[in-house]
Amino acid sequence: MSMAIKGSQPAIPDLVEELKQSAMTYYSACDDENFRKQKVEVKHTSKIIEALDCFGAEGRLALVPLLDDPDQGIRVVAAAFLLKPFPERAIAALEEVRTGPTYFPRMDAWNFLESYTKGKWRR
């Protein structure tokens, strides 16, 4: 766990950078079939989002540029937390990744879109 979660209130850019690192670590753990590390990163990502949400709408708005990140895993993670506040942008990013070359982000994009279109999305 990094300094952005411990101690005093971190700045939004630090939290966004930490989310990027967490997404990369998560998808690396997927590639390695390291289920323990995947679980740790899912929890870590949730804590980062909780910290961003302390800033109100500005916290989630800071994730919008990640929808254009060259890393598909980062795009999927950002889109997951932008489906409610920015559905058009998030759906477009997920649709693009869903047809991309990287297996685990592609599968997550498909699952997230399915949940969202069926009205089961809660993030």
Quote the pLDDT of residue 120. Answer: 87
Cβ 94 vs Cβ 105: under 8 Å: no
Q: What's the sign of the alpha-carbon dihedral 111, 106, 87, 80?
A: positive
Cβ 45 vs Cβ 22: under 8 Å: yes
For residues 27 and 76, give the distance between their C-alpha atoms in angstroms, rounded to a whole number: 10
> pLDDT per residue over 101-111, tens digit each?
999 999 999 99
Name the residue with tokens 């889109």. Answer: 79
Length in residues, the chain: 123
For residues 76 and 23, give the distance between their C-alpha atoms in angstroms, rounded to a whole number: 9
pTM, 2 dp: 0.90
Quote the pLDDT of residue 3. Answer: 44
Quote the pLDDT of residue 121. Answer: 81
